[in-house]
Amino acid sequence: MTASPPHSTACPNCGAPIRFRWAQAVQTTCDFCRSVLVRRDLDLEKIGQQAEFPVTGSPIQLGMEGRWRDQTFLVVGRLTYAWARGRWNEWYCRLSDGSSAWLSDAQLEYAMTREVAPGRALPHPATLKVGDTLDAGQQRYVVTGLTQAEYVGTEGELPFTTGERELCWFADLSSGDNGFATLDGSESPSLLFVGEYLSWREMQPSGYREFAGW
């Protein structure tokens, strides 16, 4: 993959080396002291402390590579949310053309999406109900699920800060032909991410976490 030259600095809390892989990265987490760090020009500011995540059952991890459509991708960050029936991960991926995407990971079901229609006036997920429709580009999506989730934590590099994330609503949408979309109510106005479901083999992953018995 073609990446921006890494920018190295030091953690303002413990002095450990911090290396940003991507010019667009705004936030990262120190691997040594778990400080959540935000980049402001050439300086780093500590905005919080990240608790250790419980052991994840996901094979995806930071540094995993794979393919989506006609591009390769590299996993560089993670957000984790908790809801009434468990947890799921949103992995931030950098694509070989320099753009980004999100790999959703819940109970070994995977979907890759990219943001579409930035700036478009979108409904808040909490105002929708299952069965409602939403148009994105030339495709019509149907709301298949609504979830209120709590932000748990983060690791790796992200293109935004997470200091103000708490409870938020999400709507899952389907086009009926393997198409998948998420209406994200964690920001205002809401954000829309569109893509499709992927199987593990379709991603052609390498550098993933292996478990005993695989």
Q: 61-70: per-residue pLDDT in tens?
A: 999 999 999 9
Quick: pLDDT tens for 75-131. Answer: 999 988 988 888 899 999 999 999 999 999 988 899 999 999 777 889 999 999 999
Classify the C-alpha dihedral 60-152-32-8 as positive or negative: positive
Domain boundaries, the chain: 7-49, 65-198
- Exposure class string for 101-122: b at 16+ Cβ within 10 A, else e: bbbbbbeeebbbbeeeeeeeeb
Helices (DSSP H) in the chain: which residue ranges? none
d(CA 62, CA 192): 24
Rounded-to-integer distance, Cα 109 and Cα 93, Å: 17
CATH class given for the domain over 7-49: mainly beta
Q: What is the pTM of this model?
A: 0.81
**pLDDT tens column, 10-49:** 888 888 887 777 667 787 878 778 788 777 765 666 656 6
Query: Which two structure tokens, joined as six digits, stand for 210?
Result: 């292996």
Give per-residue pLDDT as tens, 137-167: 788 999 999 999 988 888 888 887 776 667 8
Burial track 172-196 (b if 16+ CB lie within 10 A, e otherwise): bbbeeeebbbbbbbbeeebbbbbbb
Full 3-state SS string of 95-153: ECCCCEEEEEEECCEEEEEEEECCCCCCCCHHHCCCCCEEEECCEEEEEEEEEEEEEEE
Cα angle, residue 76 at apex, residues 70 and 82 outer, rounded to 5°: 105
